[in-house]
Structure 1
Amino acid sequence: MRSALVRAVRRTAEGVRWYVRELTGESAYDRYVEHLRAHDPDAPVPSRREFERMRTDRQDADPRQGFRCC
C-alpha cells in the first residue's frame, strides 16, 4: 500500500514538473540541443544564456513566433 502511494506521489510530482517546464518554456533549450545534436552533431551547442538571447531576438523580430508581454 505504501509503495503504491509513493509511486503515485512520484508520478504526480513528475507530471507537475513536466507541466511547469513546458508552461515556462524551460524545456525549449533541451529540445533545441537534442534537435541540434541529431541534425548536426558537429555544430557547437550554445549555452542556455546564448539560446535564450537567440530566442528573444527571434521573437522580437517576428512577434508571431510567440507571445511576449514585456
Structure 2
Amino acid sequence: MLILGQSPTDAPVGTFGLVNLLAFLCIVPLTVLFAPVGASLAAKLDANRLKKVFAVVLLITGVRMLAQLLL
C-alpha cells in the first residue's frame, strides 16, 4: 500500500504516496528489458559460478553502501 501512504512534505516532485513516479517509470521498463538477459545468463552459467558472480555483485554493492555511509 505504498501508493496510498501519505507523501512526506519534503518529497521530491513526482512523488505519489511513497512512490517516486520518475524512478518507477525508469526502473520498470529496464527490468522488463533485462529480465530475459539475466534469465539467459543464469541458464548458461553453472550454479557455482552464478553464486560467485552474485556474491561479487553483493560485495560491491555492500562496500559502496558502507562507503557512502561513512564518507
What's the TM-score bracket when you normalise by the shorter of the two chains? 0.3 to 0.5
Q: Which has the higher strand share?
A: 2
TM-score by length of 1: 0.35
Q: Which has the higher helix share?
A: 1
TM-score by length of 2: 0.35
